[in-house]
């Protein structure tokens, strides 16, 4: 597919990591309908592409994304929101079965921060800035900000970030557990690709099961989550790749996974 507001390519030694770059520089990657729909389409496409083992979403050095498009929302009304489902297409990225890594340089504000949090892993460039500034423009986060920060960083941090609209630095975000690693800005995308390659070196089928299981931690009680995990763990014994992985270990060789 050809896109206007994103760039897509395959990267890594085995070309098995998909890199999606948000590319609307004039508006700091503000997430207008078209950008979000292209992003969703690209993610869906790579999710189905068997040669891809992990997907990276990144922006520019100045901005990952400066939020939902404020100019597009300006004249929206409550009744239209309800009838048309304003920004409902956003969470398509959370339906992706493959691991999605956000590589965040520059601003990740409002919907930009929420988009990063919809991904499975966040790596941040050392000058990245995160925040939920919606209250400063008379609204509140609407794509998961109040919920996902609370789950990943706890109540006090979530309240402070959402109620002040203040920006937080990459280092603060790392200390809060919002991002898993801070990397010099110019090395960020390469490091994210390395992470993607590492994940893609495992069995895609098993990776899918593992991702699904971690996600249950955010949707259930501990007991239910542990039960789900155990079932999924047992289910890996119905796969060829589980047999191959353990056999390769005992034979002291690298496994040759077949995604089966």
Among 30, 54, 124, 158, binds ligand HXC (CB under 6 A): 30
Q: Determine how β-strand 121-125 pairs with β-strand 100-104.
A: parallel
Exposed, middle or buried: residue 85 (CB in 10 Å: 0-12, 13-18, 19+)?
A: exposed
Residue 20 touches ligand HXC, criterion: CB under 6 A:
no
- Does 88 qualify as catalytic in the annotation? no
Residue 27 touches ligand HXC, criterion: CB under 6 A:
yes
Residue 70 touches ligand HXC, criterion: CB under 6 A:
yes
Radius of gyration in angstroms for the set of CA atoms belonging to the chain, rounded to a whole number: 19
Among 6, 68, 104, 200, binds ligand HXC (CB under 6 A): 68
- C-beta of 137: minimal distance to ligand HXC in Å? 5
* Contacts with 73 (C-beta within 8 Å, 6 or more apart), sequence order: 86
- Does 170 qualify as catalytic in the annotation? no
- C-beta of 244: minimal distance to ligand HXC in Å? 42
Distance (Å, whole) CA 126 – CA 171: 7
Among 134, 168, 179, 206, binds ligand HXC (CB under 6 A): 134
Cite the beta strand spans of the chain per DSSP E: 6-11, 17-22, 54-58, 63-65, 100-104, 107-109, 121-125, 129-131, 168-169, 181-183
| Piece of the chain touching ligand HXC by CB under 6 A; list 108-116, 176-184, 220-228, 251-259 | 108-116
Question: Toward ligand HXC, which CB reaches closer, 93 or 109?
Answer: 109
- C-beta of 173: minimal distance to ligand HXC in Å? 16
Cite the beta strand spans of 128-205 per DSSP E: 129-131, 168-169, 181-183
- Does 114 qualify as catalytic in the annotation? yes
- Does 111 qualify as catalytic in the annotation? yes
Candidate list 66, 68, 103, 128, residue with the active-site label: 68
Q: Starting at the earlier edge strand, list the strands of the sheet with 17-22.
A: 6-11, 17-22, 54-58, 100-104, 121-125, 181-183
- In angstroms, how far apart are the furthest CA atoms of the chain? 65
Residues that bind ligand HXC (CB under 6 A): 27-28, 30, 66-71, 87, 90, 107, 109-111, 114, 133-134, 137, 141-143
Which residues does the annotation mark as catalytic?
68, 111, 114, 134
């Amino acid at each position: 597919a050809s896109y206007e507001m994103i760039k897509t390519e395959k990267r890594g030694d085995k070309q098995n990591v998909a890199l999606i770059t948000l590319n609307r520089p004039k508006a700091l990657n503000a997430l207008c309908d078209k950008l979000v729909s292209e992003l969703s389409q690209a993610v869906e496409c790579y999710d189905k592409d068997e040669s891809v083992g992990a997907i990276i979403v990144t922006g520019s050095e100045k901005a990952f994304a400066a939020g939902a498009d404020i100019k597009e929302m300006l004249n929206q009304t409550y009744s239209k929101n309800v009838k048309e489902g304003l920004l409902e297409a956003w969470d398509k990225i959370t339906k992706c079965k493959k691991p999605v890594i956000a590589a965040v340089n520059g601003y990740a504000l409002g919907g930009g921060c929420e988009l990063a949090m919809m991904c499975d892993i966040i790596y941040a460039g050392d000058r990245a800035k995160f925040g939920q500034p919606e209250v400063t423009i008379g609204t509140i986060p609407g794509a998961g900000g109040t919920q996902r920060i609370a789950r990943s960083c706890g109540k006090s941090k979530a309240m402070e970030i959402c109620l002040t609209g203040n920006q937080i630095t990459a280092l603060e975000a790392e200390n809060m557990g919002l991002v898993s690693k801070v990397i010099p800005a110019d090395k960020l995308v390469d490091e994210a690709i390395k992470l993607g390659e590492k994940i893609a070196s495992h069995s895609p089928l098993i990776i899918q099961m593992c991702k699904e299981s971690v996600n249950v931690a955010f949707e259930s009680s501990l007991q239910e989550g542990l039960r789900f995990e155990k079932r999924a763990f047992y289910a890996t014994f119905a796969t060829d790749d589980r047999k191959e992985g353990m056999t390769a270990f005992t034979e002291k060789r690298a496994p040759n996974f077949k995604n089966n």
